[in-house]
Amino acid sequence: MSGGGQGPGVAGRVALGIALAVGLVVGLVAVGALAAERAIEDRIADVARELRCVVCQNLSVADSPSEMAKQMRELIRERFLAGETPQAIRAYFVSKYGDWILLDPPKRGFNLVAWTLPFLAVIGGCVGVLVAVRRWVRRGGARAAEAAAGVDPRYLERVRRELEDLKL
């Protein structure tokens, strides 16, 4: 050993520095690859959450445990790796299955009716209740007048006097 036994020589320190640098580069590349893989997985999951499972029908492709959903997720992955955009992947599934495959279908055409009908039904129900209450109140007032018209005027006068006496 050179340097009188004081530790590794210059060559040893250089080798250690190179090893550390190579290890650092390999680690950074691995972390970058994991981050890129995670980003792709997130994009796949985002698209899969927007598509309806054709077997379960009430679950998204991301949430469905069916074999068909698994195959659809794999197809989404292949298309992402082939360089397709999320819009192109959704368009592919729409071309195969129609707008039904989308959990949030576009608000146009017949789908527009499906989106607006519940609101129109609520508004119509409120108008119906308002009309019914108004009619009920009007009929109640007319019935009270009819009932008062059929009462002997002497009794009505007596009730009025007693009510006035109570106000004192």
Per-residue pLDDT tens digits for 116-153: 888 889 999 999 999 888 888 777 666 666 666 677 87
Task: Looking at the structure, tell me whether residues 128 and 71 fall in a common domain.
Answer: no
Number of domains in the chain: 2
User: What's residue 76's pLDDT?
Assistant: 92
Mean predicted lDDT score pLDDT of the chain: 80
Higher pLDDT pick, 27 / 130: 130
Going by pLDDT thresholds of 50, 70 and 90, the confidence category of residue 1 is very low
User: What's residue 122's pLDDT?
Assistant: 92
Task: Looking at the structure, tell me whether residues 25 and 100 fall in a common domain.
Answer: yes
Task: Looking at the structure, tell me whether residues 92 and 116 fall in a common domain.
Answer: no
Structural domain harbouring 88: 10-105
User: Is 1 contained in some domain?
Assistant: no
Query: Given 105, 132, 156, which residue is the final one in a domain?
Result: 105
Per-residue pLDDT tens digits for 60-116: 888 888 899 899 999 999 998 898 889 999 999 999 988 888 887 766 677 677 778
Task: Looking at the structure, tell me whether residues 89 and 61 fall in a common domain.
Answer: yes
User: What's residue 45's pLDDT?
Assistant: 87
Task: Looking at the structure, tell me whether residues 80 and 113 fall in a common domain.
Answer: no
Task: Looking at the structure, tell me whether residues 96 and 138 fall in a common domain.
Answer: no
Task: Looking at the structure, tell me whether residues 61 and 76 fall in a common domain.
Answer: yes
Given a cut of 90, whether residue 59 has pLDDT beyond it is: no
Q: Residue 52's closest CA among 110, 96, 84, 112?
A: 96
For residue 54, give the CATH number of its domain: 1.10.8.640
